[in-house]
Amino acid sequence: MKNGFIKAAAGTPKIQVADCIHNTEEILRIIKEMEAKGAKIMGFPELCITGYTCSDLFWQNILLDSAKERLLWLADETKEVDALITVGLPMESDGKLYNVAAVLNRGKILGLIPKTNLPNYAEYYEARQFTPADEDMSTVTLNGEEVPFGTRLLFSCTSMPELKAAVEICEDLWVPNPPSVAHALAGANVLINLSAGDEITGKDTYRRNLVNGQSARLVCAYLYATAGEGESSTDLVFGGHNLIAENGTILAEARRFINQTIYADIDVKRLSTERRKMTTYPSANKTGYQVIPFELTREETKLERNFPEKPFVPANKAEREKRCDEILTIQAMGLKKRLEHTHCKSAVLGISGGLDSTLALLVTARAFDYLEMDRKNIIAVTMPCFGTTDRTYKNACDLTNNLGATLREVDIKEAVTIHFRDIEHDADKHDVTYENCQARERTQVIMDIANQTGGMVIGTGDLSELALGWATYNGDHMSMYGVNASIPKTLVRHLVHYFADTCNDEKLSHILLDVLDTPVSPELLPPKDGKIAQKTEDLVGPYELHDFFLYYMLRAGYEPDKIFRIACKTFDGTYDSETILKWLKNFYRRFFMQQFKRSCLPDGPKVGTVAVSPRGDLRMPSDACARIWLNEIDKLGEGANGENRA
């Protein structure tokens, strides 16, 4: 439960129809398995104590009495189990029979939730035996105690205030206005569905989309536990297609037809953060709801959830290629509009033979194609200086010529040397002044060429550099339109690689692959033996770590402790905890210190959920203090002991 994580499980017992003794023993067996794996929220199928397919046997008093008796037995048997458990059974109330979900916690029956929507079409005949829930709240007496009975029950964890759960049953999800909508608006962020849907061809896809979509729409975790093998096969077959989704992502999915128990680490704290950020998400309105407290022991959840090393980059190849094409189009369409609006005759950019300028040139070429403008009006300027290597120079020239743009070369060594003289800087002193004089000279050159040609300067800096402030103020930091401003470095690589794979030009592909193979560098220091001497990641840290930190800080709202924890798990075997901690501290230090550069960024298109535009996603004061973030990181360093943490 540390950092807002809690383990949930959905299980399908292999039942015997109408044998409540066998079924509850099987349920208890699975509960013990779930408990051993650390599950704190446990979901079981609809009517699982009796079996869903009892049909007219539900009219038999002996079956109803047995179900009630075995519910009490199950509650007593789980009094030492530290979990919120939901099971299904038939229950009589005021002379009517209801299909209900019973919620158990530490031996107590906290509440009974009747099913609202009873399917009575096609293969379903539930209205033959059951009565739909009404809006009235009441109680049912079980073993001498009054148990809340109604649909508007909200279960709130006293030891983890972010966790609030509610329940609906099968068909309730499949109707136009599911009860889960009201539950979520009342504050529930974990929704549990007890289901018994049969399997027909193609239904699994619809079910998966339905569960996933509801979790996204309600910004919640949605646990779906459904009936499987053991139910009667007179006319139907049940697949045990259990699902756990969180805010539009399937965290766990059971293979059908094998009664598989699934587990997932739900991040309830992130769900609360997401709802808080969405100003259109209504404030919790508990009117008409009965809030029922329950307890769980607060302990650290052993994380089994996987976090992608590159959260900005889809792991699936087909999805990644689709995303890359979409992003390139968004970038190019943004630039197209700006060129049209300003009536520019040309686009000017510095071309270095590195990743960022390569991507910017590819995007500019696509925008010119959309405008049906001659690519010769793209002016790519190579500006060799003290750190330029033959490899990057050649790639810059070859790429420009291959794309049909105009190549201009302005050697800036003499201009920079004169500038050193003017400001009385020792040219042998390779400090930040030495580097930034070159960066600002390059920006002056392309700005002036843009004036000469009636054009606009296209910015090449990417999101990762902006987050770290790894840009020269009023140097490469500045442009007239920054096409890469919301593209993280890890994604830049994939965009260039996608272009190499799909351009159908062997020579262009070869150039792009060599650019990809070149170390990331601003090339502001003299090369050693003709090779790049200044490697960015040696100075600021690995971009794969920084992009990971950036995503979970800005997109997920994680605190440093939580980011460190998941980074140690994700990069175990690649970076040790001391290395992760070192670069995490550097990330936060630079992120806060360099906001002044982001506060005056040029326009540029947003392509994903994380961006740092001062006019959009990141309204942050330039002099915000990082103390509380850095203090937390220092505490992590005191307790890490050089070990990776899960």
Catalytic positions, written as ranges: 46, 115, 170
Sheet holding 481-482, edge to edge: 406-409, 378-382, 346-350, 455-459, 481-482
* CA 263 centroid distance within chain: 18
Q: Which pairing describes strands 455-459 and 108-114: parallel, antiparallel, or unpaired?
A: unpaired
Beta bridge partners of residue 91, listed in sequence order: 98
Closest by alpha carbon to 227, among 251, 201, 206, 256?
A: 256
β-sheet with 243-246: strand ranges across: 249-253, 243-246, 221-226, 190-195, 164-169, 153-157, 290-294
CB 264 within 8 A of CB 192: no
Which residue, chain included where needed, has tokens 């942050």? Answer: 620
Closest CA to 467 of 603, 360, 588, 585: 588
Burial of 283 (0-12, 13-18, 19+ CB in 10 A): exposed
Rounded-to-integer distance, Cα 613 and Cα 246, Å = 28
H or E segment to which residue 203 belongs: helix 203-218
Rounded Cα distance between 283 and 238, Å, is 39
User: Residue 635: CB partners within 8 Å, gap ≥ 6?
Assistant: 561
Query: What is the rounded distance in angstroms from the CA atom of residue 48 to the CA atom of residue 53?
Result: 10
Tell me how far CA of residue 573 lies from CA of 238, 397, 545, 577, 609, in angstroms: 42, 39, 14, 10, 29
Strands 262-267 and 145-149, bridge-based pairing: unpaired
Q: Which of 400, 354, 356 is nearest to 380 (CA)?
A: 400
**Phi and psi at residue 76, in whole multiples of 5°?**
-65, -40
Query: Distances from the Cα of 553 to the Cαs of 363, 410, 449, 462, 614, in angstroms?
Result: 28, 41, 39, 18, 17
CB contact at 8 A, 475 and 352: no
C-alpha 634/C-alpha 581 separation (Å) is 9
Dihedrals phi, psi of 212, to nearest 5 degrees: -65, -45
Amino acid at 68: K
Q: Which is it for strands 346-350 and 455-459: parallel, antiparallel or unpaired?
A: parallel
